[in-house]
Structure 1
Amino acid sequence: MHYNSNLKEKFLRVKAIDRGRQLFNMIKESLSGEEKDYTNGRIGKALFMLAIPMVLEMIFESVFAIADILFVSQLGDDAVATVGITESITTIVYAIGFGLSMATTALVARRVGEKKFEKAAKVSSQAILTGAIASFFIAVVGIFFSKDLLRLMGANATIVNEMSGYASIILGSNMIIMLLFINNAIFRSAGDAALSMRVLIIANCLNIILDPLLIFGLGPIPAMGVEGAAIATSIGRGLAVVYQFVLLFKGSGKIHIKIEHFTLKWKTIKKLIKLSLGGIGQNIIATSSWIGLMRIMAEFGSAAIAGYTIAIRILIFILLPSWGLSNAAATLVGQNLGANQSERAEKSVWAAGRINVVFLGLIGVVFFLFPAYFIELFTDDQGILVNGIQALKIISCGFIFYGMGMVLLNSINGAGDTQTPTLLNLISFWIVEIPVAYLLAIQFGWDQKGVFYAIIIAEAVLTLTALYWFKTGRWKLKKV
């Protein structure tokens, strides 16, 4: 009996070691950048292989923002304010970049699924041209009217007169941001997610090295202050874009772009713009609704706003793996629809949704039970703590809705239907969230709690309506 028990224990130990080895090999393979076909094989493995590099890519993007603020904060409040105000202006760049990358994902993934790699390369080149044209006009405004833009945003005289160079550089070089978005979308939609992750690693490492050198100076390098941060960001991202083009022209992955592809094809550009309008709309709707909620939160004082802001930062960081998984689902939907495997596309979405619901459900339980631990990492101010704990505890109750909702919406976008998610966002965030937040917080006297509950209600409405639309199957019929 004792012998059998030892034998069983040994068997379980060997099995656990074997599973660990398999997991390690899968992670290693997902980061290798090797060419893979995601229109066959196990769906769970395909999701895992795509999601790992996408999650890491998003984490590196977050590190990028943190590093900038960390160094700039040593220059004083005006420098930090300059970065913050400029970022609020560049939301238009991010909105356009997000929209074009979404359109690129839908078109390129579909062509890759059809095994029409030459057409995928042609679409990619037209997406790059479209982004470059859009960014040119933004650059002209940014270079020549940066002071006016800062003044319009309420910046003080010191920022306008002494630090406007930061805005000029960031807006003037916005093409770098645009191309970074679009090129990484090309890699991801082709299933080469590891390549886009490597690009972000290069950009981040260069930025972290150059930030202190250019901001504070070293030896023959003069201290450039906040403008040095803008130059470091532009150089870091710029060299990353150069690396992207080397990979695309070399044909290291499925997409091999050639010079002759860069002849303007207005039919393709029109299709890209039409699809991107939905993505731009989704971004603007979400951003503007957040501004609306902040306006309501302002009624309850700075402590309430600060606590809410800290809670949201924590939530956004925790949601990064979920966004990576939902992006992986979008890629699988596009490729499998292109391969005329609509049932496999649907199964991919349900698989990703289940994983996301379980993951965020568990995180939600932790946040609900131990919210103070996470808020205390950022502040010891009692007023902010109370509000932050309240925000984190209430909003985390909606994590199950967030988990399924983001997978459904990204997958519908990946199918090439960007109009439906835009409409659902508009209904949920502007027709439901803002009025309900005002009603509960102001009219019913729930104070900031009313805003937090309104967020859950809006996300529930968004998820349930997206679920209804997804189950109709109309997204499978979308031609792009």
Structure 2
Amino acid sequence: MPSVPNPLRLAIRAVGLALARLGAIDRDRAVRTTELAWPRIVTGLARMSKNAVDVAMVGVAVGTAAVAGVGFAGPFWGLAFAIGGGVAGGTIALVSQRYGADARDELGLAVRSSTALVVAMSLPVTLVFWLVPHELVGLLSSNDRAVAYGARYLQVVGLGIPFAGLNLVGSRTLVGADDAYTAMQVRGGGAVANIGLNWLFVFALDWGVAGAALGTVLSNVAATSAFAIGLVYGRAPAIGAFPVRVDPTGRYVDPETIRDLGRIGLPIGARNLVWTVAEFPMLAILDHFGEPTVAAFVIARRIWGLMNTPGWGFGLAASSLVGQALGQNDEATAEAYGREIVRFSVATYAVFAGCIATVAERLVVLFADGATSPEVPIAVSLVYAACVAVVFQGVTAAASGPLDASGDTRVPFASQFLGIFGGSIPLAYLGATTTLGYWGLYLAFLAETTVPAAINYWRFRTNKWKAISESYRPDVAAGDD
């Protein structure tokens, strides 16, 4: 991996080294974790910035109703990441263990099977979104203008769902092979291209929400093409060498590999789907507060996405490093990485949240027509609540990494489900129907993160994930026992 004088990399490394000086984590593990985590965090910032810019461009060019409409379409688009993320969660578990054991043929089979599974699962979803977008978005709101904007956005952006899923598989393959930097180049480049395309389509061509959706589709197609070229040929133009090559002519449907992907990935996909599904009742509840509150929530969630990007890095770094150690049958090192990455993650989240809190109002205004827009004060308050709640996400994301790498994926799904449907949604409903008001929304943010943080870390501490991982380790590693 090339040494890049990236300020974010230096900042994250500084946090890790500070923790090492305090004796909280091992210095060498802090450095290696940083090298895997920072490119994923940059990718996350690029992707979430793209999402934020989408909303900001739509808000400035079209108005509050369009922002609400894109928000109503959001949970449907989230299905792409529930589908692709679930399969890709299985991909990184299998790839990291096979990479650690140097079982390259089995690694290629895992990638090809992941590709086939993503395509088979995502194409029907794309078809439904193309045929009945208005009916789907109309389930969430009676605001005709917002529904019309949301339906148009959903119809176009749905074309990108298969490509978004394949991007996740490609990215997780590289991270599992100890190369988050190349994945960052591809997906980060796609995000930058997306912003440029959206500016062209939304402002220059005046295509509104449809232009924002089209930019998302085309950027995902470009990134998928780069991953495909790199994995097949071992390098991609303007990107460089890839750490692994995958023979595209091999088997794509291997029953045993598909079953492993399903057993590992289904709970991960369900975990991703929890928030996507939860957005439906959440947006319906917010609709009772009125259009400004819906727009404010959409803005706050976009900013939340920026603050949540350390989880992209530390969760996947934990999955990769723990998985590689398990592939070598080194359970002690796997546990040490898992424990220390949780501490590293929480400290980094705290720094991110503190930075966002200091500029919350200025950030929110960027998404609105102006500082006097009705959604601005509501969004600012929600962002402050998110700054507190997101720190606990550092535990949730990092503790789920070792569980995902080992195949112990059911508990993180259950914890996310309880946090959302046992805490966040009921609190938001109480806010909409009682004098609790906006405090219900603030507490909803907190419940969303504290419940899964407690459960995931408890599960990690039980060490049951080590035994579970044995059934997924490659034959090479199993033979070393």
TM-score above 0.5: yes
Question: What are the equivalent positions in structure 2 for 1:163-182 lying under 5 Å apart?
Answer: 167-182=154-169
Task: Tell which structure's C-alpha radius of gyration is larger.
Answer: 1
Equivalent of residue 32 in structure 2, options 46, 49, 54: 46
Q: Deviations over 1:18-74 (max 9, x none)?
A: xxx99779959x9xxxxxxxxx99211110100111011111212333444455556
What corresponds to 2:418 in structure 1?
A: 427
What is the letter of the counterpart of residue 232 of structure 2?
Answer: F
Does the residue aligned with 2:249 lie in a helix, a strand or coil? helix
Task: Give yes or no for the alignment of 1:391 onto 2:374.
Answer: no
Give yes or no for the alignment of 1:207 onto 2:207.
no
One-letter amino acid matched to 1:170: V
1:316 pairs with 305, 323, 335, which one?
A: 305
How is 1:2-81 mapped onto 2 (pairs within 5 angstroms)?
A: 42-69=28-55, 72=58, 76=62
**Aligned partner letter, 1:180:** N
1:34 is matched with none
- What are the within-5 Å matches in structure 2 for residues 251-400 of structure 1? 251=234, 252-298=241-287, 300=289, 305-364=294-353, 375=364, 380-381=371-372, 384=375, 386-400=377-391
Contact persistence 2:297–2:379 (CA under 8 A): yes
Given the alignment of the two structures, is residue 120 of structure 1 paired with residue 110 of structure 2, yes or no?
no
Contact residue 441 and residue 449 of structure 1 kept, 8 A: no
What is the CA–CA distance in structure 2 between the aligned matches of 1:371 and 1:206, rounded to whole Å? 26
What is the CA-CA distance between 1:88 and the residue it aligns to?
A: 3.5
Aligned residue runs from structure 1 range 435-454, under 5 A: 435-436=426-427, 438=429, 445-454=435-444
Paired AA for residue 470 in structure 1: F
Gap runs ≥5 in structure 2: 13-25, 235-240, 473-481
Preserved CA contact (<8 Å) 2:190 2:223 = yes
What do the CA deviations read for 1:123-175 (whole angstroms, capped 9, x no partner)? 00110111111223223334444565456666988899999776444323432
Q: Which moved more, 1:226-235 or 1:401-410?
A: 226-235
* Change in 2 beyond 3 A, CA 1:407/1:380: same
Residue 25 to residue 341, structure 1, CA distance change in 2 (3 Å): farther
TM-score (norm 1): 0.79
Of residues 405-414 and 447-456 in structure 1, the stretch that sits farther from structure 2 once superposed is: 447-456
Decide whether the 8 Å contact of 1:118 with 1:256 is kept in 2.
Answer: no
> What residue identity is the alignment partner of 1:98?
G
In structure 1, the gaps of 5 or more residues are: 1-20, 31-39
Aligned to 1:404: 395
Identity of aligned residues (%): 22
Does the Cα contact within 8 Å between 2:83 and 2:122 map onto a contact in 1? no
Post-superposition offset of 1:314: 2.7
- Asked if the contact 1:138–1:172 (Cα under 8 Å) also holds between the matched residues in 2, the reply is no
Tell me the matched-pair count: 445
- Contact 1:294 1:305 survives alignment (8 Å): yes
- Does the aligned pair in 1 maintain the 2:430–2:437 contact within 8 Å? no
1:329-353: CA deviation from partner (whole Å, max 9, x where unpaired): 2221211111112221121122222
Q: Distance in 2 between matches of 1:161 and 1:286?
A: 24
Amino acid at match of 2:323: G
CA contact (8 A) 1:368 1:397 kept: no
Residues 353-374 of structure 1 show CA distances to partners (whole Å, capped at 9, x for unaligned) of 2122223334555667886566
Native 8 Å contact 1:58 1:320 kept in 2:
yes
CA distance in 2, matches of 1:24, 1:474: 38
Select 1:250's aligned residue among 233, 238, 263: 233
Whether the 8 Å contact between 1:433 and 1:458 is mirrored in structure 2 is yes
68, 77, 83: which is aligned to 1:90? Answer: 77
Comparing 79-88 and 112-121, the one that deviates more:
79-88
d(CA) in 2 for partners of 1:22, 1:132: 35
Paired residue for 2:223?
A: 240
Is structure 2 residue 442 aligned with structure 1 residue 459?
Answer: no
For each residue in 1:75-96, what CA deviation from the matched residue of structure 2 results, as whole angstroms up to 9, or x when unmatched?
6357666655544422222211
Deviates more, 1:105-114 or 1:60-69: 60-69
Tell me: CA distance 1:265–1:49, structure 2 relative to 1, closer, same or farther (3 Å): same
Q: Deviations over 1:301-320 (max 9, x none)?
A: 55555555444433331221
Task: Provide the rounded CA distance (Å) in 1 between the counterparts of 2:449 and 2:68.
Answer: 31
| Change in 2 beyond 3 A, CA 1:270/1:404 | same
Q: 1:225 to 1:76 in 2, by over 3 A?
A: closer
CA–CA distance in 2 between the matches of 1:436 and 1:192?
A: 41
TM-score (norm 2): 0.78
